[in-house]
Amino acid sequence: MRTAYINGTFFTMESDNRIIEAGMLIVDNAIIQYIGPYAADQLIEQADIVDLKHKWVLPGLVNTHSHILMTILRGIGDDMLLRPWLETKVFPLEAQYDTEIATVSAQLGILEMLLSGTTACSDMFNPSGMDVDAVMHAIGATGITGAISHTIFSFGSEQEQRANLRAAEQFAKSYKSWADGRLTTMVAPHSSYTCSPNALAESARIAQDNNLMVHIHLSETDHEVQDIQARYGLRPVEHVRRSGIFDQPTIIAHGVILDDEERAILKAHDARVTHNPISNLKLGSGIADISKLLDLGIKVGIGTDGVASNNNYDMFEELRTTALLQKGLYKDATKLSTPQVLSLATRSGAEAMGMSHTGSLEVNKYADFITIDPYNKPHLQPIRESLSHLVYSVSGKDVCDVYIRGQQVVRNAQCLTIDEEKVISDINRLQGKLQR
């Protein structure tokens, strides 16, 4: 079915950052067929016309690093450093998960994402204690797109570690194309400090055998760098490189503690970086110098991390923080222009995830887009400065409508694919089952 969306201001996020006022978008079978000025001749065969009433329209936001199954853990450990937070809060609570906890937590995380304008994510989850197929069916039913990845750890006995690797490989095979192709997966060794050298090498093999990307936490803190140097005599990036991980396209989460040699390694292997500024600040990890990465031509996206260390999935808040931190870090207001930082949360983020079929409003790309009605919002006035407002004034609460592959999943700030009242009730009931 062909649908024309008219009377919108379209921020296409193409390479030239074209903005089309009083524009028109035509979608047919999930694919953008036309994007440009209003053209009456394009409407002859339209079955449906949607008047956007001058709303702002932009690509759906792309969250390049999240942990939706940890949404139930929001607020569990403030004012803690990363390693003690993981070891005394996150891992013990995740060990108590069952399928219902995992499913409802994922639904709540995706609900928050969709309502705040995120249409794609790259997510890692700990599969302990759950029926992963049930969880994946629930995620698929929400309408979101992206990559959902089974985390690899080197915990427990050798037999348990081998079982974890076997499960991860089976997951990679089973969910490489899921939910009518909206979802895929990556191979996800958790980190250099929670995975043995063998687990890293096996992760590389699984990725190569199944032609999948790799998603790994890397160079997040000074402590991590010191720990890996003490164990292996190498910094984390070189240690991971020697495992063969970078032989497949890889996206590293964080990259806060990098030197020039490590950046050169990332560039040489086309490794990408997902920048998670608010989580890095909350955990006291530092500020990633993404300006240097971008200057080298390294692909960078923006992620929220999990809400246990953020504590929300609002990508507008994340991109604003990204811009402000780089300007402050360099004491240079010209760092990260408004179009550039908005691209990191859309087109550039999609490219970093290996999903160039989304992230911008262009012919032959999927119709993944969101709308914002600025006219009744004082903080979005004057309307003429709309591009600036999208980075420095908008919040996720301003999102009106969300479409993924041409299907509306949010209408007037109400999610159409998830029962919000039930999920909120269930998450509070289930949190009581976790022994803290």
Cβ proximity of 45 and 2 under 8 Å: yes
pLDDT for 408: 98
Mean pLDDT on 405-410 = 98
Question: Region 218-238: what's the mean pLDDT?
Answer: 98
Tell whether the model's pLDDT for residue 25 goes beyond 90. Answer: yes
| Closest of 318, 307, 423, 317 to residue 74, by C-alpha | 307
Instruction: Give DSSP secondary structure letters for 409-431.
Output: EEETTEESSS-HHHHHHHHHHHH
> Who contacts 171 (Cβ-Cβ below 8 Å, separation ≥6)?
127, 132, 150, 185
> Bridge partners of 411?
414
Residue 46 pLDDT more than 70? no
**What is the share, in percent, of the chain residues with pLDDT greater than 70?**
100
CA-to-CA separations, 263 to 279, 296, 422, in angstroms, rounded? 21, 8, 46
How confident is the model at residue 41, as a pLDDT?
86
Average pLDDT of the segment spanning 255-260: 98
Binned at pLDDT 50, 70 and 90, residue 1 comes out as confident
Contact 436, 76 (CB under 8 A): yes
- Segment 366-395, tens digit of pLDDT: 999 999 999 999 999 999 999 999 999 999
pLDDT tens digits for range 172-215: 999 999 999 999 999 999 999 999 999 999 999 999 999 999 99
Residue found under tokens 């031509």: 297
Phi, psi of 344 (to 5 degrees): -60, -30
Q: Is the pLDDT of residue 423 over 80?
A: yes
Angle between helices 236-243 and 197-210 (to 10 degrees): 50
Span 310-361, pLDDT tens digits: 999 999 999 999 999 999 999 999 999 999 999 999 999 999 999 999 999 9
Q: Are 188 and 252 in contact (CB under 8 A)?
A: no
